[in-house]
Amino acid sequence: MKILHLALLTILLAPALPAAAQEYAVPYSGSPYKDIAELEENQILHLPTGIVVSFEQMIDTLSGSRVIYIGETHDNLEAHRVQLEVIRRLYRKFPGKISVGMEMFRRSARGDLERWHRGELSDKQFRKLFHKNWGPGYGLYQPIFEFLKEQGIPLVGLKSSRAMEQQFREKGPGEEGMPEIDEQDVYHREYSMALFGGNDTHTDVVSKPYLMLLLWEEAMADTVAGFLKDEANADRKLIVLAGGFHVQYGYGIPKRAFRRHPHNYSILLPVVTEVPKELKHREMKMKKVSIPLISADFGLKVAYKVPPSNKIRLGVFLEEADNGLKVLKVEKNSNASRMQIQAEDVLMTLDGQPVMDVEDLAAKLQKHDFGDSVRLTVQRGQETLEIEGTLQDPG
């Protein structure tokens, strides 16, 4: 349930507490001293003071923390660019002393992530692991994964396992093996209820998704605390990449990890203050809620950029095969039919690059435009064929 886009540029005016309607001059995206919307893109605001700082000054400040939380809007390429740059800079300052924890992997993936860190998992196997744990969207994180692999930076899965979630659905909190869950944070609850479109009078509608949200955050916090308590990590820092909702205001993962094991932490939010017209359909609408808290230590103003739509298509139905992608059906008057690709063919490479899965093929195609020539390596029965063609607009 990927519900958690960041709410955008709004002064939060609705009641924070059921008993008292108040207004707080702390906009979600900024500081009581300065509105981050006034900054240029890529400028950074220290939210508690309203002071604009350089990237290097921010890194120097973050360096004093044991855990650095970097929020994201999951589909925003700019948020992931910021995450990668922070990882690069901190790794440069603390080589061999950095680990990265991600919401996108479950705790049950620990063994596979350790194998990947040792170089025992192929790129294709790792992509499958990502899809199994999170779903589509590998390309959004690919530059981060490539840097982690290149530098030998360990990757930690934070999220609850599916088995834990199923047990939680059946038996609820408090069962053996479940993380301790705090339901008492009034600001977290009120904001979450607004997100789910309900309030405390709609308990039947929103209580189950809210409890599942709490399980996710408590499980991730428990993983963070476990990392910190492990003596093997005594001199390591943990950079946590998670949806902005889980780290904003500190009442999600950060507070819940601190409750288990007090430590220094910092929060960085890449903040979008204006959604482009063509992306308005992605903007989350929710009731405004007053939160008397600073949303993060730093806000970095970014644009909202998403991967290109799948404009370029071959026109085939595919399934994964051991050595590529098996063609199940070819659409009439498609690029594939013009290239004489047939059902049962296995697509192995595009322009000399192996195709890992359907998402990978689609991403590779989007690097082209109509009129470009492409070259496919195809296995047809016992033959390996090289097929070239020109990409056309199907109209």
pLDDT tens by residue, 351-383: 999 998 898 888 889 888 888 899 999 999 999
Mean pLDDT score across all residues of the chain:
88
pLDDT in tens, 41-66: 999 999 999 999 999 999 999 999 99
| Amino acid at site 237 | K
Residue labelled with tokens 């992530």: 113
- What pLDDT band is residue 23 in, cutting at 50, 70 and 90? very low
Mean pLDDT score, 243-263: 97
Separation between Cα atoms, residue 209 and residue 215, nearest integer Å: 10
What value does the mean pLDDT take over residues 76-89?
Answer: 98
Question: Could you give the C-alpha distances from 63 to 85, 131, 352, 386, 388, in angstroms and in order?
Answer: 14, 32, 42, 52, 51
User: Would you state the pLDDT for residue 274?
Assistant: 84
pLDDT band at 30 (very low <50, low <70, confident <90, very high): low
pLDDT value of position 43: 98
288 three-class SS: coil
Per the structure block, which two tokens stand in for 40?
């240029």
**For residues 202 and 130, which has the higher predicted lDDT (pLDDT)?**
130
Q: What pLDDT, on a 0 to 100 scale, did the predictor assign at position 287?
A: 74
Tell me the domain boundaries of the chain.
36-301, 316-390
C-beta of residue 249 within 8 angstroms of C-beta of residue 295: yes
Question: What would the mean pLDDT of 273-300 be, rounded to a whole number?
Answer: 84
Q: In this structure, what DSSP letter does residue 191 have?
A: H
Structure confidence at residue 359 (pLDDT): 87
Task: Say which DSSP state 194 is in.
Answer: H
The pLDDT value recorded for residue 130 is 97
Are the C-beta atoms of 215 and 179 separated by less than 8 Å?
Answer: yes
pTM of the predicted model as reported, rounded to 2 decimal places: 0.86
- For 362, the 3-state DSSP assignment is helix
Can you point out the beta strands (E) in 277-315? Answer: 298-301
Give me the phi and psi of 229, to 5 degrees please: -75, -20
pLDDT at site 3? 38
- What fold, for 316-390? Pdz3 Domain (2.30.42)
pLDDT at 148: 99
Q: Which residue has the tokens 């959604």?
A: 275
* CATH class of segment(s) 36-301: alpha beta
Structure tokens, 134: 């999170």
User: Is pLDDT above 90 for 199?
Assistant: no
Give me the pLDDT at residue 325, please.
92
Q: How many CB atoms lie within 10 A of CB 342?
A: 13
Quick: pLDDT tens for 95-118.
999 999 999 999 999 999 999 999
Q: What is the pLDDT of residue 204?
A: 54
